[in-house]
Structure 1
Amino acid sequence: MSSLGIAALQLAAAKDDNLELVERETRAVAKRFPWVDMVVLGELAIHGASLDKAEPAGGETETRLKALALETGLWLVPGSLYERRAGAVFNTTPVINPAGDIVARYDKIFPFLPYETGVTAGRDYVVFDMPGAGRVGVAICYDMWFPEVIRTLVGLGAEVILLPTMTNTIDRDVELAIARANAAMNQCFFVDVNLAGDLGVGRSAIYGPGGDVVYEAGAGREVIALDIDLSTVSRMRERGWNGLGQVLKSFRDSEVEFPLHADIKARRASMTGLGELAMPRRPAAEGAASSDARNDHKPRLKILD
């Protein structure tokens, strides 16, 4: 049995300055649940979504988080931080081991455009091994809307996907459907950790490798401590969920090519008709009403894109 004790912290966070809250909640988990191996937080849980809070890699916040992991003996995936590196800002999830070392940094590949402006997209996938447990992949929030990201992490061996999330909008139902589908399509555990309080609507969720619901949270603060058996991942990938679809084997054995995935130019050429990626705006009046009044009084149907 390959077990992973994981605590997903759905914090009732303020808009910023939540580092002391994170430290307090993490220490409480270490004390109350000594079998837990890892603590995972929501996206931008510590400083919120302001780029003004961006710090250099290895800055004060990261230093305190490393000390927290060492103190508690936990793997710590502290949501994400805006980090400044090489003149750019990235939405970055550091992965900190129980010795207080950063073993990986994941930069969000798909910033939430057109809203998350000023954030540079990452280019690298991150998976890491937890001794005695298994292989873990990391993505951030909007990344899960792109199945290529999650399938690539699974292709790199991930058995569980951690998805720090910050959602405070009306599409949480849709996100939960996508998270559950990702678990089923990739036969992996999927841990989607949202925020509560001022930063999110909560409803964190963990789904199993058959797309089964392990746990779905409410809207407020919750500590979701679970002991996950990762051996079920290999069993379901071998036999299918309840003896049904062996999805990854079919994908592996297929001889179909996917040119849109392999060729950036081909993908862009095929989708030029979508228009510019820009913030939606109210339709401009353009004097249409006065023009209609001058021309005639016939009713008109105006279709707004």
Structure 2
Amino acid sequence: MSHLPIAGLQLELGADDNLETIEREIAQVAKRFPWVRMVILPELCTRGASTDHAAEPGSEAETRFRAAAREHGLWLVPGSLFERRGNAVFNTAPVIDPTGEVVARYDKRHPFLPYEKGVRRGQDFCVFDVPGAGRIGLMICFDMWFPEMVRQLVWMGAEAIIVPTLTNTIDRKLELAIAQANAACNQVYMVNINVAGDLGYGRSIVVGPDGNVIHQASTTREIIALELDFEHVRRSRERGIFSTVQTLKNFRDADVRYPVYQPGAGPGALAELGPLALPDETDNNGPHGAHT
């Protein structure tokens, strides 16, 4: 078997405690779609984007998610949670297997700075295996904007990449294009599940390894139940997209060294961009009131 039936839950949620609502939604999916093996939730869907709710590892929310996975016999990627370890806060996505065990844990490597303040960058990449299906990579939201992240996970064997997301800004249209481009360039499924309601703009997207959009959601509550076909990934990589475009083989075989990635390369022209900070009230002539 090389198929993985999944359900992405694009839920209309607020900034309060959404845990009971999410538990009900998971139970409804298990009852309505008994063939689903994995449920995926959006980033920070339990309490929203405030680090005030950061909890120690093994929090009540994680414990209840583990219980839900065990009760329904599902793989569960419950979006992400702010996790406090000592004086540091991480945006962390656990992966829970059908026995309720946490088999992987990923810390977001690219917090949405300068807005996602007080969140420490993660240091590791995350892939995990679903027996009988395939290998899956995990990222969180803004990570997807960095093509190196996707290529690294594919190099590690990922055949699908799950991206829990919380986007409530007007760049969502760009994210849809980025998901499609990443899928085509890496011949990988991209499963980007965004939150709706007060927290986000919805429009979750699932893209196949040939770059085709399998489903794009609306802006309201939507349960996205479908199958990932890992044999389709393998065939696309072997023969190329449309039996033509063999991107990964070309990347593998090309004797190209990119100076930007070499040790000691430094920031190059990017040094001229200035600090990573909130934009101030400026125009092309500099700060207002400083015209000459």
Shorter-chain-normalised TM-score: which range?
over 0.9
Q: Which runs of 5+ in 1 are unaligned?
A: 293-305
SS of the residue 1:241 aligns to: coil
Equivalent residue for 2:273? 274
Equivalent residue for 1:160? 160
Taking the aligned partners of 2:288 and 2:26, their CA distance within structure 1 comes to 53
Equivalent residue for 1:299? none
Equivalent residue for 1:93? 93
SS of the residue 1:266 aligns to: coil
SS of the residue 1:169 aligns to: coil
Q: Which residue identity lines up with residue 180 of structure 1 in the other structure? A: Q
Equivalent residue for 2:211? 211
- The alpha-carbon deviation at position 228 of structure 1 amounts to 1.7
- The alpha-carbon deviation at position 244 of structure 1 amounts to 1.1
Q: Which residue identity lines up with residue 168 of structure 1 in the other structure? A: N
Task: Give 1 or 2 for the bigger CA radius of gyration.
Answer: 1
Q: Deviations over 1:125-156 (max 9, x none)?
A: 00000001100000011001100001000000
- Superposition pairs of residues 217-256 of structure 1, within 5 angstroms: 217-256=217-256
SS of the residue 1:149 aligns to: helix
- Contact 1:261-1:267 within 8 A present in 2 as well: no
**What percentage of residue pairs aligned between the two structures are identical?**
57
Q: Are 2:153 and 1:178 equivalent residues in the alignment?
A: no
SS of the residue 1:56 aligns to: coil
Equivalent residue for 2:288? 285
Equivalent residue for 1:3? 3
Taking the aligned partners of 1:110 and 1:287, their CA distance within structure 2 comes to 34
Taking the aligned partners of 1:3 and 1:206, their CA distance within structure 2 comes to 15
Mean CA deviation greater in 265-274 or 7-16: 265-274
Taking the aligned partners of 2:236 and 2:290, their CA distance within structure 1 comes to 61
Taking the aligned partners of 2:46 and 2:130, their CA distance within structure 1 comes to 24
Aligned residues: 288
- The alpha-carbon deviation at position 269 of structure 1 amounts to 4.2
- The alpha-carbon deviation at position 86 of structure 1 amounts to 3.1
Q: Which residue identity lines up with residue 272 of structure 1 in the other structure? A: A
Mean CA deviation greater in 216-225 or 57-66: 57-66
Q: Deviations over 1:102-129 (max 9, x none)?
A: 0111000000001001000011000000
- CA gap of 1:287–1:173, structure 2 versus 1, over 3 A, is closer
Q: Which residue identity lines up with residue 279 of structure 1 in the other structure? A: L
Taking the aligned partners of 1:22 and 1:267, their CA distance within structure 2 comes to 45
Q: Which residue identity lines up with residue 52 of structure 1 in the other structure? A: D
- The alpha-carbon deviation at position 59 of structure 1 amounts to 1.2
- The alpha-carbon deviation at position 170 of structure 1 amounts to 0.6
Q: Which runs of 5+ in 2 are unaligned?
A: none
Q: What is the root-mean-square deviation in Å for CA atoms of aligned residues?
A: 1.1
Equivalent residue for 2:198? 198
Equivalent residue for 1:74? 74
SS of the residue 2:191 aligns to: strand
Q: Which residue identity lines up with residue 272 of structure 2 in the other structure? A: G
Q: Deviations over 1:201-242 (max 9, x none)?
A: 100000000100100000000000001211000000000111
SS of the residue 1:242 aligns to: coil
TM-score in terms of structure 1 length: 0.92
Q: Deviations over 1:26-76 (max 9, x none)?
A: 010011111101000111011100000001111111111111111111000
Taking the aligned partners of 1:156 and 1:148, their CA distance within structure 2 comes to 12
TM-score in terms of structure 2 length: 0.96
